[in-house]
Amino acid sequence: MDVLLIVLLTLLNALFAMSEMALSSSRRALLVSMAEDNMTGAQAALDLQRRPTEFLSTIQIGITTLGMLNGIIG
């Protein structure tokens, strides 16, 4: 059971890390173009890019919490 929980926490940690990298490496001009074409999620990504402090701090809290839980369990 512990192994399954550790795998789940690690996958969640990876999801947080991927979302952080995806947002920070995305090009604004491409997102604007995609939003104008009404592509799903493009406007949300632009909104998050306009307020990176809120998004990135939330992601970092999630990564840290999952890392701590991983350490406690494993």
pLDDT tens string for the chain (74 positions)? 889 999 999 999 999 999 999 998 999 999 999 999 999 899 999 999 998 898 899 999 999 999 999 999 87
* Contact (CB, 8 A) for 2 and 70: no
* Model confidence, pTM: 0.78
**Per-residue pLDDT, 54:** 87
Q: Is the dihedral of CA 43, 47, 52, 55 positive or negative?
A: negative
Write the CB contacts of 56 (distance below 8 Å, at least 6 apart in sequence): 20, 24
**Per-residue pLDDT, 13:** 95
Please provide the size of the chain in residues.
74
**Per-residue pLDDT, 74:** 77
- So where are the chain's domains? 2-73
